Amino acid sequence: MQIAIRSEKPGDIAGIEDLTRAAFLEAPHTDHTEHHIVNALRDADALAISLVAEVEGKLAGHVALSKVIISDGSSHWYGLGPISVQPELQGEGIGSALMRAALEALDKADAHGCVLLGEPEFYRRFGFAPKAGLILPGVPESYFLSLKLRGEWPQGEVSYHSAFQARA
């Protein structure tokens, strides 16, 4: 399977919304607002990096990255998510390709690091792990993961953009 990763284009927006909705339809631990979050990030000009995956010219996956705030004042940290793959294509390497491309894009943007909320078994292979002292309130420590790309490790509470409160 040939996977092509590229930056989002304006003509992708409706497809990204449909893809994200479908990807999380049967997912556990979701309130099914992920597509609203992506749209709200875009509308707020807070979607720092938005990449799509194509297979045979069709939209197959998407990953969003946005800046986060850390209570100790650390800067240049990003939150990864949502990341979505068409349900019928999950398990085919598209999510992994998106992750690698997202980390490369963060490195090119001189990001200091990245946090995400997700399944430790999947994200560990990309270097993500829980970090003592870096927390997302109300979330089990084992599911809030981080990866330092450069600089010092921050210490404090992480806050995502208000778009993550988007509902409809």
The CATH number assigned to the domain holding 96 equals 3.40.630.30
Q: What is the pTM of this model?
A: 0.94
- With a cut of 80, say whether residue 29 has pLDDT above it: no
- With a cut of 70, say whether residue 168 has pLDDT above it: no
Label residue 142 by pLDDT band (50, 70, 90): very high
At 82 the pLDDT is 95
Domain span including residue 115: 3-165
Round to whole Å and give the CA distance between 44 and 117. Answer: 21
Label residue 1 by pLDDT band (50, 70, 90): confident
- With a cut of 90, say whether residue 127 has pLDDT above it: yes
Indicate the average pLDDT of the chain: 94
For the chain, what is the domain count?
1
